[in-house]
Structure 1
Amino acid sequence: MLGLQSHNSSFGCMELIKKSIAAVKKYHGNTLEVPVYWYQIQPEEGRFDMSEVRNLIEKVRESGLYLVLLWFGFSKNADSTYLPEWAKSNPERFRLARDRDGTVVPMMSPHCRETIEADRRAFVKLITFLKEFDEGERTVIALQVENEIGFYPIDRCYSQAAQEDFDKGVPECLFDVKLDGSGAPGQGSSWYDRFGRYAHEAFSSWYFGLAVERIASAGKVIYPELPLYMNTMQGEVRQEIPGQSYSSGSPVARVLDIWKKAAPSIALFAPDLYCQPLSAYRRACRLYGRVDNPLFIPETGTGGDAFAVNLIHAAGDYGAIGICGFGAERTLGPEGELTGEARKVAATMRILESMAPLLLKYGGTDYLFAVSQEEFQKMVHVERTQYHVTCEFGNYSRKGSSLWTSLRTDAVLQEYPTVFEERGRGLICETAPDEFYLAGAGFSAHFLLKAAPDDTYPKRIYSSRAATELTALTVEEGHFDEAGNWNCDFVRRGDENDYGVFVYPGTVVRVKLNPAACRDVKW
């Protein structure tokens, strides 16, 4: 699943939705994410209006894209922005959270049953409409429940109802939960006994989780085939203090096990990743990409070198099942063209799209991996089963040379004019010891046959050009069809092989090597 997410206020404005659809297609994506607002589908208590939801689905269906809906209900970025006016104007019934000193804060408390039940009724109406209107077409492929839920800048609700829940202590089902960085679970039954300095975060996570489960489970009964997920503000930043670095109670990695127990109707918890350093991006992917929690990135950057590289590693090294950038509309210029920075991430999206069948088959295994160019780096070496693979960055971008006599390079330069000068990045998949598929930009790959472990004179192989891609059986440019079958579009030989196997967005290169060329044959 590859695509973009519309801005928060785009739902209901068809011009912005049309622009979002156009942007997704420029990115060669297949999915658009769009929020749906509680206040808009229920303008009056007891009266629901799904006309805008219908219009949205019809427009996305007409475009040929898939749609992910984001339910903006009682909690959106630790705020109550999307509540209907009739609920906002009745604080005695729909209660806001309170700070320790009793100050009212502008976010709904999960300890208020009325709020959760009202959200549940609206969510049920939405999901009932989706089943009735879209089950046959399946334009809508997933539904997000709430948005970056949690408390900020408080660490928990201190209302009387919340304090009563806190005093009940930790439920027995959480006795085996160990929070990341908090040491072994304590032995008492209070939140402080069990979770120490993270007691308030653990408590908030449990009760937000129960609230979400109350809402989500009602939807699952009606439309069990539609996956439900939650996004979360990334918690792995700065001092990692709940209520300061991120919203307390949000399903960040530290409390993911609590959320898994509290809200089993949620298929997966997905991080919104905006960190640019690759090391930080990798860490987040590793923490959220678990056996019980497939990695899905519903929000990330849409432009720049950092995200152009980071997305490659999320898919190639951590088996991400989907990636969507935030802010579809801002990626296009006044004439509907991609902005310069957006083109970099769009090129990466196209690389991922071209390798989709292999990502689905080999993602998360050792057979598929990402390569990228670090600062000051000229090349990277990877050792595989039968070959050494060396990727050289940036030294083959000589426009106009015979190196670029290929099928699509002129079109690629027109769509991504700076791609050959950008950070090298790409995917390599080893489908057999002597067969590789490559896709990417900004590098060329060289293959060298590995000498046998018992070879006492390996120089005869390592110094022979016959042990390289120059004796490959074939080097093909091509693509995978909708069924995942390989189609060769162009065969490279001669000059197009003399400088290594170069790659560029929009095509996949299949390299079938010939290890027999270096066999010790008497003649």
Structure 2
Amino acid sequence: MRSRLATFLAALSLAGAAGAAAQDAPHFRKQGAATQLIVDGKPLLILGGELGNSTSSDLNYLNGYWPTLKTIGLNTVIATLEWDMIEPKEGVYDFASVEGLIKQAEANDVKLVLLWLAAWKNSTSSYAPPYIKHGWQKYAKAQDDKGTPVDILSAFDPDTLKADQRAFAALMAHIKAVDKNHTVVMMQVENEIGMLPVVRDYSPQAQAAYKGKVPKALTDYLQKNKAGLHPFVRDAWTANGSKTAGTWTEVFGAGPVGEEIFQGWGYAVFTDALTKAGKAAYDLPMYINGALNAPDQKPGEYPSGGPIPHMFDIWKAGAPAVDLIGMDIYYPNYVHWADQFRRADNPVFVPEANRAGQIDAGGNAFYTLGELDGIGFSPFHIETLPNPETHPLTGAYRVLGQIGPLVLANQGKGTMRGFKAPLSYEGVVDETPRIFELGGYKISASMVDSRTPKDTQTIPAHGGLIIQTGKDEFLVAGRGVILRFADADPKSGYRVGLEQVVDGEFVNGQWVPGRWLNGDESGQGRYLRMPPEKFGIQKLKVYRYK
């Protein structure tokens, strides 16, 4: 009896430990309207940088860049894992690359987001292992509209899916076994999926699927979410009678719009099945990303069917296991695109915020984290950032690192706003002040510094955020911003003044005040000014009077 009791208690203890370990794994948690990434019980605000595609494939090469990455102030590095390195031969796995990445990250006290470059990377299948590349008779290639194969694995081939699932699950199981400190906090599944150079796959398996019925899961989603569908999907569906059953051409019409919807669904259900396989081995947060389309591009000129805003509904319906869709952006109109990624069902994460070195990166980071309640921000090829000691991104991360706990505490609660000047696709700056209400006040945020000659300013680099820290009290952080305050009720008759403005910094989490700026620096109490030279922090108190 005693032996059986001891065995039972031991089993119970092991089960409890396993449950605790699973509970402690990084995961997402809602806070008000925001979603946050929780690591070891605390929210993590990713101040990140993504390495170049090949940097992490040579651990000795990567090791030389850690001083640069630490100088920039990263708390998270995004790095690639290649299918052909993980599974060099069918069923034979080599995890040295992921183990080395985890070891180096731990030694430098940073977290990792890992990219699974497998069936697709920037549409093509260049990271598939040799047995996949040479086994084209089993692992089908996609075909163009003339029946010519392209070097892209078909999303409609079950053999490819099974091979990708098997390798990804093995990888996730290994990460779970070796990553005892939760250094790996999130996984990206594939990279910038989409069909090129035509709108959809014309391989035999794809053709058979295209002639078949639209899955009920998709038509059910369309009916349930009809009021909020993206116009691209909504218009294609309603123009053909809002059917709840039928072939792809019957439900969405013949032509490139319906064909892109079909191709997106194929990619989505493949990715969903792959994500489920990975999560079954180790349930980490998992996301996907997409390559945005330029104006007037046609599907196939950009990666058709990929997870970008006009296709979100298809991906949300087809890949519910995916936790979020991340934004890769290499265009100037950051605000235009970033706003579209913020949805009730999609927290904002920017794994590729243009190439490292872009002057607007710091302002974009403040906008992402402050206005959009973002999980994180990360320029691409971060190890090549020029002059990392003095680059504005380093200054932005220095300030965001100091105020990160406040940002996290206020996400999703309506007590924080972010701002920057939007740019058009052509790079033209919209200098119109951003107007919003916060804490009972109407606030005007101008990214043009009225006290500095305009032709010496780099307005796209300006931006910031404001947090209400108490009644009539705020914290402002940013660069090149002037804030003016008025009563939110224009009929109240009250005017608003600045009681006190103080700059300073947080040292080890404690506020260390600096200069009092009630004089010339604030126009004798008429506005708060964040100088354009560098990112900084100011606290202020306001008051009403008649």
TM-score range, shorter chain: 0.7 to 0.9
Give the conservation status (yes or no) of the 8 Å contact 2:418–2:464.
yes
TM-score, with length taken from structure 1: 0.81
For residues 188 and 99 of structure 2, the distance between their equivalents in structure 1, rounded to whole angstroms, comes to 17
Question: Which of the numbers 466, 469, 487 marks the counterpart of 1:428?
Answer: 466
Mapping of residues 299-338 of structure 1, within 5 Å: 299-301=352-354, 302-332=356-386, 337-338=387-388
In 2, Cα distance between equivalents of 1:263 and 1:431: 39
* Residues 1:452 and 1:397: Cα distance change in structure 2 (over 3 Å): closer
Q: Shift in Å at residue 232 of structure 1?
A: 0.9
1:263, distance to aligned residue in structure 2 (A): 1.8
Q: Per-residue deviation at 1:155? A: 1.6
1:412 maps to none
Q: Deviations over 1:430-461 (max 9, x none)?
A: 23341010111123545567798354xx6xxx
Identify the residue that residue 394 of structure 1 maps to in structure 2: 449
1:496 Cα offset (Å): 7.5
Residues 89-120 of structure 1 deviation map (CA, whole Å, 9 limit, x = unaligned): 12111221111221011100012222111111
Structure 2 residue aligned with 1:228: 286
Q: Distance in 1 between matches of 2:363 and 2:521?
A: 26
Partner Cα distance (1:73, 1:444) in 2:
47
Distance in 1 between the 2:442 and 2:58 partners? 53
The residue correspondences of 1:298-447 to structure 2 (distance < 5 A) are 298-301=351-354, 302-332=356-386, 337-338=387-388, 343-364=391-412, 366-372=414-420, 375=429, 377=431, 384-387=438-441, 389=443, 393-396=448-451, 423-445=461-483, 447=485
Over 3 Å counting, the alpha-carbon distance change for 1:380 and 1:14 in structure 2 is same
> What is the CA–CA distance in structure 2 between the aligned matches of 1:264 and 1:379, rounded to whole Å?
38
Q: TM-score if structure 2 supplies the norm length? A: 0.78
Any idea what the Cα deviations from partners look like across 1:275-329, whole Å, max 9, x if unmatched? 203xxx2232222211111111110123333444333322332222111110112
In structure 2, the partner of 1:137 is 181
Does residue 492 in structure 1 map to residue 545 in structure 2? Answer: no
Matches of 1:299 and 1:441, distance apart in 2:
22
Structure 1 residues 365 and 275: CA distance shift in structure 2, 3 A: farther
Match of 2:336 in 1: 283
Q: Which residue of 1 aligns with 2:232?
A: 181
Q: Is the 8 A contact 1:386 1:433 kept in 2?
A: no
Distance in 2 separating the partners of 1:171 and 1:382: 43
Q: What are the equivalent positions in structure 2 for 1:89-100 lying under 5 Å apart?
A: 89-100=134-145
Deviation, 1:339, is: 8.5
Structure 1 SS opposite 2:197: coil
Contact map agreement 2:287 2:322 (CA 8 A) in 1: yes
Aligned residues between the structures: 471
Q: Distance in 2 between matches of 1:376 and 1:101?
A: 45
Paired-residue identity, % = 27
Q: Secondary structure at the match of 2:379?
A: strand
What corresponds to 1:243 in structure 2? 300
1:130 Cα deviation after fit: 0.4
Change over 3 Å in CA distance of 1:350–1:170 after alignment to 2: same
Shift of 1:475: 2.8
* Partner SS, residue 181 of structure 1: helix
The question of whether the paired residues in 1 share the 8 Å contact of 2:59 and 2:97 is answered with no
Contact 1:378 1:394 in 2 (8 A): no
SS at match of 1:325: coil
Q: Distance in 1 between matches of 2:406 and 2:92?
A: 47
Distance 1:164 1:373 in 2: 48
Match in the other structure for 2:7:
none
Q: 1:447-458 residue pairs with structure 2 within 5 A?
A: 447=485, 453-455=491-493
**Structure 1: distance between partners of 2:335 and 2:445:** 21
Residue 479 of structure 1 corresponds to which residue in structure 2? Answer: 506
CA separation of 1:286 and 1:386: change in aligned 2, threshold 3 A: closer
Deviations 1:31-77 (A, max 9, x none): 10000001111111121111121111100111011100000001111
- Matched to 1:180, the amino acid is P
Alpha-carbon contact 1:67-1:140 (below 8 Å) kept: yes
| Cα deviations by residue, 1:143-173 (Å, 9 ceiling, x for unpaired) | 1111111211122221212211222210112
Kindly indicate whether the alpha-carbon contact (under 8 Å) linking 1:316 and 1:370 is maintained by their aligned counterparts in 2. Answer: yes
- How far has the Cα of 1:255 moved from its partner? 2.2
Tell whether the 8 Å contact from 2:481 to 2:530 is kept in structure 1 after alignment. Answer: yes
What do residues 457-501 of structure 1 show as CA deviations (whole Å, max 9, x unaligned)?
A: x6xxx5xxxx522x33x635232756xxx5234352665855454
2:58 aligned partner: 13
Check the 8 A contact 2:217/2:318 in 1, yes or no: no
Contact 1:351 1:426 in 2 (8 A): no
Counterpart Cα distance in 1 of 2:406 and 2:139? 49
Structure 2 contact 69–383 (Cα < 8 Å) conserved: no
For the pair 1:102 / 2:102, whether they are aligned, the reply is no
In 2: Cα distance, 1:255 partner to 1:476 partner: 45
RMSD over equivalenced CA pairs, Å: 3.0
SS in 2 for 1:121: helix
Distance in 2 (alpha carbons) for counterparts of 1:108 and 1:426: 43
- C-alpha distance in 2 between matches for 1:253 and 1:372: 21
Q: Which residue in 2 is equivalent to 1:2?
A: 47
**Structure 2 unaligned spans of 5+:** 1-45, 223-228, 423-428
Distance 1:325 1:452, change over 3 A: closer
